Chain A
Amino acid sequence: AQSVTQLGSHVSVSEGALVLLRCNYSSSVPPYLFWYVQYPNQGLQLLLKYTSAATLVKGINGFEAEFKKSETSFHLTKPSAHMSDAAEYFCAVSGPLYNFNKFYFGSGTKLNVKP
């Protein structure tokens, strides 16, 4: 089974500072990788995804993530945090081959943005 580890259940940054949310996966074959954002009392919204094309993936709201096979990582970054970025972020993995119909999620990281 695949697993996803998100380091840090809570991350706090100042407005304008770099955002870095960490995600590592365990899989013998490069999977599909996703970052989702969840605002309070809402569903999950896709930020970006990696599906074996470019290793640097750009998403919505200025977020990007880099797939590093050697490190089995898919960390999420944003150069300058905005107050509206405060939310919970989930890393997820699916694929490949016969198992691509299941999504496995990390435990989430709550991002707090200080004024």
Chain B
Amino acid sequence: NAGVTQTPKFRILKIGQSMTLQCTQDMNHNYMYWYRQDPGMGLKLIYYSVGAGITDKGEVPNGYNVSRSTTEDFPLRLELAAPSQTSVYFCASSHPEQGLTEAFFGQGTRLTVV
């Protein structure tokens, strides 16, 4: 099993550009999450989804959008990149209905906005 796969691993964007961070999981988990990690700040929840077609905002959703058309995929969209979005982004999944209460993480996408 590949688990949670994120692409790309690294990306440099110019201010005002847009991009989509891809996330896919092959574990059939219902719950998926996007976090951003900044030094000394831990992980902050951007958006989450409890199933296909259902998404909701987390703690820091401004400047981002998500969609969940399938169980497997949960892309994160940045429409107008800003320097404040320079961060490491992690996608995660879980499946509490099957006793999988923990989150399984991808390897992250390191994004720099210049």
Using CB atoms and an 8 Å cutoff, list the residues of chain A in contact with chain B. 4, 6, 9, 32, 34, 36, 41-46, 49, 51, 90, 92, 94-95, 100-108
Contacts and interface: CB of A to CB of B under 8 A. Distances in A.
Given A94-B101, A100-B96, A101-B50, A43 B41 contact: no
Given A51-B101, A101-B31, A102-B48, A108 B40 contact: yes
B107 interface: yes
Interface in B17-75: 31, 33, 35, 40-45, 48, 50, 58
Contacts of B102: 34, 46, 49
Contact of B101 (A6, A32, A106): A32
7 contacts: A6-B42, A32-B101, A44-B43, A92-B103, A101-B96, A102-B58, A103-B33
A83 B102 CA distance: 27
Contacts of B94: 101, 103
A107 B42 contact: yes
Contacts of B101: 32, 49, 51, 94-95, 100
Contacts of B45: 102-104
A90 to B, nearest CB: 6
A102 B96 CA distance: 11
